[in-house]
């Protein structure tokens, strides 16, 4: 998808900062062109409701859930509330046991909650053993905590639906995440790359340019896309100049 000449000139004149213009245009045009799936890191109904029109689902992990629940009964209550409020969303829940047998048992339990459950299993040695068995049960799996191409290929061969590289954590350790994601997308064809640990607009730019199938991020990251001084300032200038209405 390409902007026409007039539209491109408008972008050049209006969004004068090169970095913002590049991100803003690339992010949304790629989103439409490649039908990227958006997931939200959340276990809170109000956060989910805000971005519901754009979401394919939500992702969780023990850290995310611990911010929203106090105990196990509270967890089950909120999970049922989310499932009933958003019956068409995919829900990623992560196993908590460290051994393969425990992960397999938890995966079976998670799958009982709803047909829309995606079981997150870490790509450890034990996790990959579990994935081979869980995939035989026709349970959708998200291979999480991916930090290498060999992990990704082993997960793909074991039958996962999604593979989640943790970009923020990789960048913290000095990795070139743009190069890694590009190689990952080109190397894996039997599973969708669901980029995780997304912290900044730059991370979003990287995953859209690499044509990842999906990404997940917090509400604050999505909020920052629209809470931009250039975007807000442009809208205000249009509103102040406006002298008519179509209604």
Phi/psi for 102 (5° steps) reads -65, -40
Q: CA-CA distance, 198 to 97, in Å (whole number)?
A: 25
Catalytic residue among 18, 67, 120, 161: 120
Q: Give CA–CA dist 218/27, Å, rounded.
A: 16
Contact of 36 with 57, CB cutoff 8 Å: no
Distance from the Cα of residue 216 to its chain's centroid: 2
Tokens of 138: 């026709």
Active site residue 120: yes
Classify 241 as helix, strand or coil: helix
Distance of CA 232 to the CA centre of its chain: 25
* Catalytic annotation, residues: 120
């Amino acid at each position: 998808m390409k902007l026409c000449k007039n539209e491109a000139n408008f972008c050049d004149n209006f969004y004068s900062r090169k970095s913002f213009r590049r991100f803003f245009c690339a992010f949304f045009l790629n989103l439409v062109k490649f039908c990227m799936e958006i997931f939200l890191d959340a276990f809170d109904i109000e956060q989910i409701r805000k971005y519901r029109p754009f979401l394919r689902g939500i992702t969780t992990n023990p850290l995310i859930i611990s911010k929203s629940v106090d105990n196990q009964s509270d967890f089950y209550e909120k999970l049922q509330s989310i499932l009933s409020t958003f019956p068409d969303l995919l829900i990623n829940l992560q196993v908590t046991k460290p051994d393969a047998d425990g992960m397999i048992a938890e995966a079976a339990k998670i799958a009982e909650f709803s047909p829309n459950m995606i079981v997150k299993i870490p790509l450890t040695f034990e996790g990959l053993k579990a994935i081979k068995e869980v995939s035989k049960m026709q349970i959708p799996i998200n291979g999480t905590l991916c930090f290498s191409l060999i992990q990704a290929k082993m997960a793909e061969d074991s039958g996962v639906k999604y593979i989640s590289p943790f970009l923020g954590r990789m960048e913290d350790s000095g990795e070139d995440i743009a190069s890694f994601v590009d190689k990952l997308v080109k190397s894996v064809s039997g599973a969708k790359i669901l980029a995780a640990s997304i912290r900044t607009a730059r991370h979003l730019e990287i995953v859209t340019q690499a044509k990842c199938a999906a990404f997940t991020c917090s509400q604050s990251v999505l909020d920052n896309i629209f809470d931009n001084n250039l975007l807000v300032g442009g809208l205000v200038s249009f509103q102040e100049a406006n002298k008519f209405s179509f209604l």
